[in-house]
Structure 1
Amino acid sequence: MTGQRGQPARRTVLAAGLLLGTGPLNTACRSAVAEQQGSGGGPRHGGTLHMVQGTDILPAFLLSQINPNFSVSRTVFNTLTELDHRTLRPRSSLAKSWRVSDGGRTHVFQLRDDVTFHSGRPFGPDDVVFVLDHLTKDTTSSQVKAVARQVTSAERTGAHEVTVGFGKAVSNVWDMFEMMVVIDRESVADLASGREIIGTGPFTVESYKPGSSISLKRNRHYWKPGRPYLHGIEIAIAAQSSTAVASLRSGQTHLALDLSPLDAAGIRDRPGFRLVQSDAHDLTYYIGANVTVPPLDKAEVRQAVAWAVDRERVLAQALGGIGRPSSLPWSPASAAWDPDRAAAYTLNPEKAKRLLRQAGAADAKVDLYYSNTLATNAAIAQIVQANLEDIGLTCRLRPKQDAEYQKLFVSGKIPGLFVNGHGFGQLTPSTLVKGAWPFNAQHNASNFRDPEYSRLAEEIWTGKGDALTAAYRDLNELLLEEQFVIDLINSTHTYAIQDSLHGLTWTMYDGIDLDNAYLA
């Protein structure tokens, strides 16, 4: 794609040691309806939910959005507010109410007076002040750190009141409060290691065996009367998606988090099970390009890659049909979503070849990196390799162990193309370009730097009205032209469940919410 920036827009056999229990759970098949609010006589107390996920939790990263923590970020913790899925407006949680003044620069929160941490200590304004300060530290990983660093003051202004002042009004302040789990300041020194994981949420951590399992029990002092219904949750770690599927089908597991899309698709029509797709739609698979590595330093080469990839084949063969092709990072709920521009790149090998010739890269070689522990990413990489060979690029696959891959990724030192998935396309667009590592305008995994990109990132962070609309349009055109992130498929996180589980919900950052969950 060679259009000019700023043109008007057109619109993841049961293995031993999983600790999943010795006998099958209740696998009675009830009506496989899609609704989640209950059946079979309504909610009831009791029972232990058995869950399986592919990777271990990472307590050190609880203040950022990462897949391994989806099982604990909302079951063990709470946030000040929670975003409504339909309106994307904040709703009360630990904060009962709030008022915003001074053009969005001052937020005064009235906090609940009936909340205690799992240690028994009362929750209060000082805990909010602590977490806001903790977010700003260099040692804290968070995609909303830029917002926290705009906080100029945070103080107790009443027994149950906290006032937060910002240096300037920014558009994604509620994204920060949605992601900002309230951790316990008295045990924070032991949080990263997992020795102490203390929150205010519906379940307490009874035991944590790194790499193996997490055991949660009902918080008898939870601030929501009568909740939760479940008496406990047992979370097993199963590195292979096929192992999670086997435990689900055998009746040993009620809920499997984020199966590989192909495995998830296999559950979809199986009697007694349901595949629930998150309405956040915040998982987009993409190819990243290190723009400092020839020939990827030329935009025409990156555009050629974008035209060469068969997105429909990726969707069908790697993702089991879960998602939609997209050339932009946004989900349809985003203010920056533009359906026409999201369809800007389609399969066009001839155009890709022309761009390679223009760039003098017709016989070039590229390396394509991916984590070999993620079956979906490996499948995408193989399709991309074949597509690039079709246009004359020699593409060498470079699978890496996940730890090595992640080290290269977070340091911006992947020397070529790379397959990955990103989030943050579902909420305020500024959170993606100011914090998400693939897109961060100041520093990103592709090493892409551009003054106009930085200006637009700032504009959508602070702009309003017509200026903001124009900034979204211009940002989309820049992303489509530069292609340092080559978006392929806008997909979603999935929850494969037995029909006996009801009341499952989740946050707009995909932390599972089991406040109202029960086993029929």
Structure 2
Amino acid sequence: MTRSRPRTWLLRLAAALTAVTVAAGCSSAVDQAKQASGAAGGTLVVGTLSDLTPSAIYSQSTTSMTIGRLLYDTLIRYDRATGTPQPAVAKSWTVSPDGRTVTLALRDDVKFHNGRPLTSEDVAYSLKTYASAAAASQLRPAAAAVTAVDTADPHVAVLHLAHPLVNLFDLLEFVLLTDRETPDQLKAGEQFIGTGPFKFAGWQRGQQVRLVRNDDYWNGAPKVEEVDLKVIPDETALLNSVRSGQTNVVVDASVQALTPFRGNDAYTVEPENIWDVNYYIGANVTDPALSHRAVRQAIAYAVDRERILHEVFGDTGSVNSAPWSPDSPAYNQELATRYTRDLTKARDLLTEAGGAPAQPLRLSYNTALAPAKSVAAIVQNNLADIGIKVELEPLDGAALTQTLNSGRSQLWINPHGFGQNSPATLATGAAPFKPEGNLSGYRSADYAALVERVWEQPDPDSAAAHAAYDAYTQLLSDEQFVINLVSTTVTNVYTGSVRGVDWNTYKYLILDKATVK
């Protein structure tokens, strides 16, 4: 079994759960940044294919990735270079020797946009929200492991855990600290009150979201005065908006459509280098046409991953028939390359299953994601080569989510994340994979047991952990209810006047220090 080198931060996370750990406060550096932060002014216009979906704010969605870290804060932030947790609203922390008590020391200068100070009660509220079924959060299992939060001290949140959490810091960077006094207004899309660097100033549904600078932001006022999110649901028109100067930034652009921007000093094309954008074909195993795993394996062998990587993603990334990013401790090269295009195997598997489905299969895809249409077209062409007819169904993000949650889907194209974090985060909570209620309707006692085994590993690079990851990935590889295609990243394009665009490991857009001339 060939493996990649595990990320250092995973080892450090494991150590944090088995011993007392203290994170340096770094308050002096933050305070210096706050004093040095000047206001360069201007409006930064971000073009996006997708409108806001307030109900999706707690999940890793287009909405959370676009506005999550503009309006809200998180408790910690991973250093993307080293993978180590860094202070944010939590300025320091300790973990008890048994891993079941986590004490978070909170900054005392963090305020919500309405002027109310953030306290430990707000941390308790946010964690409870993410633990609820209504939030539909991929980190729900981790949040639900927080059985109680001691809020006696307004600037100290003591988390009591049902069991040690190997993905504790995944949770602390994922959870957005939302206002406990306005949940109904958030759900309705009327108010988005956080403690982040920008304040919500208005939403014209289907057209534009307006955010203004938070001059009282604890980490220093942002450089720009305003951020406008401009909704342009057609990719060609979206990229033309950058050329015409209507927008300054487009996030998650199709790599194949960015050729005219490359080598042009008027623009910056930048991949985010977070290799958790794993495009896949989802299969509804409760549909009679897809209930036989040999049919799903036939689809996996028929797909031309090399073509998808080259034509759609410009060779940015790697072909991958497993869910893990190449830098994950769970990555196994043999399983990642098991399914290469082999039409003979694909046809033999269809014969084993009794032949190709008699009726065309419906292949849905998310029109809010620029590459999805091209991936769907290649898959449609590939499956025709083994006698499977496919009809494409383009849906906007909200409609696709509704279709998947309804169980009416057959096949779909979508990306999943979490392959770069603790393996427990993907296995326990990511929508395509979670053992209860995953998008494919796949249920198995063996699968649930393997998920539990992955979650129980305190050291992510131990022999026991690798054995657990391999067993889990082997089952996924055999069952193919998630047919992984490629691991890639988000690629952005900016006008040459834009500087300082950043993001976290969940691809939440960060514009605290961004400037535009």
TM-score, with length taken from structure 1? 0.88
Please give the alpha-carbon distance, in whole angstroms, between the structure 2 residues aligned to 1:246 and 1:362: 42
Count of matched residue pairs: 481
Matched residue, 1:298: 292
Q: What amino acid is the match of 2:123?
A: V
Give the C-alpha shift of residue 398 in structure 1: 4.1
1:279-323 CA distance string (max 9 Å, x none) = 212211111111122342222221111111111222233334433
Say if 2:41 is the partner of 1:46.
Answer: yes
Matched residue, 2:209: 214
Over 3 Å counting, the alpha-carbon distance change for 1:447 and 1:164 in structure 2 is: same
Worse-superposed segment, 249-258 or 357-366? 357-366
Matched residue, 1:151: 146
Structure with a larger share of its residues in helix: 2
Q: What amino acid is the match of 1:117?
A: F
Whether contact under 8 Å (2:53, 2:398) holds in the other structure is: no
Matched residue, 2:29: none
Over 3 Å counting, the alpha-carbon distance change for 1:283 and 1:449 in structure 2 is: same
Matched residue, 1:205: 200
Over 3 Å counting, the alpha-carbon distance change for 1:229 and 1:10 in structure 2 is: closer
Whether contact under 8 Å (2:54, 2:63) holds in the other structure is: no
Worse-superposed segment, 483-492 or 285-294? 285-294
Matched residue, 1:287: 281
1:512 to 491, 509, 514: 509
1:136-180 CA distance string (max 9 Å, x none) = 233222111111111111021424111000111122121111111
Whether contact under 8 Å (2:39, 2:225) holds in the other structure is: no
Q: SS where residue 154 of structure 1 aligns? A: strand
Please give the alpha-carbon distance, in whole angstroms, between the structure 2 residues aligned to 1:192 and 1:333: 36
Please give the alpha-carbon distance, in whole angstroms, between the structure 1 residues aligned to 2:381 and 2:66: 36
Please give the alpha-carbon distance, in whole angstroms, between the structure 2 residues aligned to 1:85 and 1:451: 36
Q: What amino acid is the match of 2:424?
A: S
Q: SS where residue 344 of structure 1 aligns? A: coil
Whether contact under 8 Å (1:43, 1:518) holds in the other structure is: no
Say if 2:417 is the partner of 1:427.
Answer: no
Matched residue, 1:81: 76
Give the C-alpha shift of residue 49 in structure 1: 1.1
1:416-471 CA distance string (max 9 Å, x none) = 22222211212111111211111111221111112221111111112233321211
**Superposition map of 1:212-291 within 5 A:** 212-225=207-220, 227-291=221-285
Over 3 Å counting, the alpha-carbon distance change for 1:49 and 1:286 in structure 2 is: same
1:326 to 306, 309, 320: 320
Whether contact under 8 Å (2:133, 2:140) holds in the other structure is: no
Over 3 Å counting, the alpha-carbon distance change for 1:363 and 1:187 in structure 2 is: closer
Q: SS where residue 139 of structure 1 aligns? A: helix
Give the C-alpha shift of residue 240 in structure 1: 0.9
Whether contact under 8 Å (2:285, 2:291) holds in the other structure is: yes
Say if 2:483 is the partner of 1:486.
Answer: yes
Matched residue, 2:98: 103
Worse-superposed segment, 79-88 or 177-186? 79-88
Identity %: 36
Unaligned runs of 5+ in 2: 5-36
Please give the alpha-carbon distance, in whole angstroms, between the structure 2 residues aligned to 1:233 and 1:506: 15
Unaligned runs of 5+ in 1: 1-7, 12-41
Matched residue, 1:443: 437
Matched residue, 2:23: none
2:340 to 336, 346, 349: 346
Q: SS where residue 130 of structure 1 aligns? A: helix
Please give the alpha-carbon distance, in whole angstroms, between the structure 1 residues aligned to 2:364 and 2:262: 27
TM-score, with length taken from structure 2? 0.88
Q: SS where residue 314 of structure 1 aligns? A: helix
Matched residue, 1:31: none
1:66 to 57, 61, 69: 61
Please give the alpha-carbon distance, in whole angstroms, between the structure 2 residues aligned to 1:184 and 1:468: 38
Give the C-alpha shift of residue 404 in structure 1: 4.0
Give the C-alpha shift of residue 400 in structure 1: 4.7
Give the C-alpha shift of residue 88 in structure 1: 2.4
Q: What amino acid is the match of 1:412?
A: G
Say if 2:457 is the partner of 1:460.
Answer: no
Whether contact under 8 Å (2:208, 2:230) holds in the other structure is: yes
Whether contact under 8 Å (1:54, 1:258) holds in the other structure is: no
Q: SS where residue 212 of structure 2 aligns? A: strand
1:206-262 CA distance string (max 9 Å, x none) = 22222211111111111114x321122121111111111111011222111222333
Whether contact under 8 Å (1:412, 1:444) holds in the other structure is: no
Matched residue, 2:118: 123
Please give the alpha-carbon distance, in whole angstroms, between the structure 2 residues aligned to 1:117 and 1:69: 18
Say if 2:267 is the partner of 1:307.
Answer: no
Whether contact under 8 Å (1:80, 1:178) holds in the other structure is: yes
Which structure is richer in relative contact order (CA contacts within 8 A, separation 6 or more)? 1
Whether contact under 8 Å (2:289, 2:357) holds in the other structure is: no
Please give the alpha-carbon distance, in whole angstroms, between the structure 2 residues aligned to 1:450 and 1:366: 28
1:382-405 CA distance string (max 9 Å, x none) = 221221121233334444565543
Please give the alpha-carbon distance, in whole angstroms, between the structure 2 residues aligned to 1:463 and 1:72: 34
**Please, what is the CA RMSD of the aligned residues?**
2.1
Q: SS where residue 279 of structure 1 aligns? A: coil
Please give the alpha-carbon distance, in whole angstroms, between the structure 1 residues aligned to 2:222 and 2:247: 19
Over 3 Å counting, the alpha-carbon distance change for 1:405 and 1:517 in structure 2 is: closer
Q: What amino acid is the match of 2:130?
A: L
Please give the alpha-carbon distance, in whole angstroms, between the structure 2 residues aligned to 1:247 and 1:400: 23
Over 3 Å counting, the alpha-carbon distance change for 1:488 and 1:43 in structure 2 is: farther
Please give the alpha-carbon distance, in whole angstroms, between the structure 1 residues aligned to 2:356 and 2:39: 65
Q: SS where residue 347 of structure 2 aligns? A: helix
Please give the alpha-carbon distance, in whole angstroms, between the structure 1 residues aligned to 2:154 and 2:374: 55
Say if 2:365 is the partner of 1:368.
Answer: no
Say if 2:149 is the partner of 1:179.
Answer: no
